[in-house]
Amino acid sequence: MLVFSVYPHMQMYLLQSVIYSLPQMQVPLQAGLFPAPLPNILPLQQHLPQEQLLLPPGPLLQPQVPLVQKTLYVTTYSSEVLERQPGAEAQLLQHISHVPALLTIYCQTWRAPPRKMCEMYSGVSQQIQQFIMGSRTAVREINKALASIVNHFNAGHQVASIQTTCHAGTHRSVGTAEIVAKQMRRSGVNVVIKHLHRRKGPGDPW
């Protein structure tokens, strides 16, 4: 019971509290309002599945260092140009100064291709290369050069340089260089060729 104080000229009122019974209400739960149930915690002695491991078992493998590809530099030149033109020898030395020459193949004494073939092609063409391979002397010298190059690489060297030369620096020396390059590329060696004095023939592929 509550009693309110009022002024003297006002009548006093007594207030009684009344309790009303409210009907019971059921509020349905909505999905997503509560966090998902926690996963079961594994016992301490139980091992995690292999796919859940953050690190592979055992020692970590060190990354493999890629192997450096071996490189062969081949320079062809004309012996006549080297003798007659001033500065030609300096140009040759400029191309081979970074890597000392392992050997030089002198093709001047080999049988020369026919004149009409020389007028039509240079040593980059198959016609000149097939003519060179028809000479026993040329094949013997090329095989000796290939053996020296292979032995040089097998000794642990990563870089090698050779030279080939003939009178014009266009046919025999160029063809020999291309033959050597094909053989070494088949063995996985990177070959860089520079023909200093080659004259392109009308039948050459490039």
Q: Look at strands 103-106 and 159-166 and give their pairing.
A: parallel
Nearest CA to 75 out of 159, 167, 193, 190 is that of: 193
Q: Phi-psi region for residue 172, left (φ > 0), alpha (ψ -120 to 50) or beta?
A: alpha
Tokens found for residue 58: 């055992």
Write down the H helix ranges in 103-188.
Answer: 115-120, 126-133, 136-154, 172-186
Task: Examine the pLDDT at 172 and tell me if it is beyond 60.
Answer: yes
pLDDT digits (tens, 9 = 90+) for 4-50: 445 555 555 455 554 544 444 443 433 333 344 433 333 334 443 43
pTM of the model: 0.65
Task: Examine the pLDDT at 181 and tell me if it is beyond 90.
Answer: yes
Domain-by-domain residue ranges, the chain? 71-195
pLDDT score of 97: 58
pLDDT digits (tens, 9 = 90+) for 130-139: 999 999 999 9
pLDDT digits (tens, 9 = 90+) for 119-162: 999 999 999 999 999 999 999 999 999 999 999 999 999 999 99
pLDDT score of 11: 55
Task: Examine the pLDDT at 173 and tell me if it is beyond 80.
Answer: yes
Which residues contact residue 162 at a Cβ distance below 8 angstroms, ignoring those fewer than 6 apart?
72, 73, 74, 75, 101, 102, 103, 104, 105, 145, 149, 180
pLDDT digits (tens, 9 = 90+) for 56-111: 444 444 444 445 789 999 999 999 998 887 777 777 777 665 788 899 999 999 99
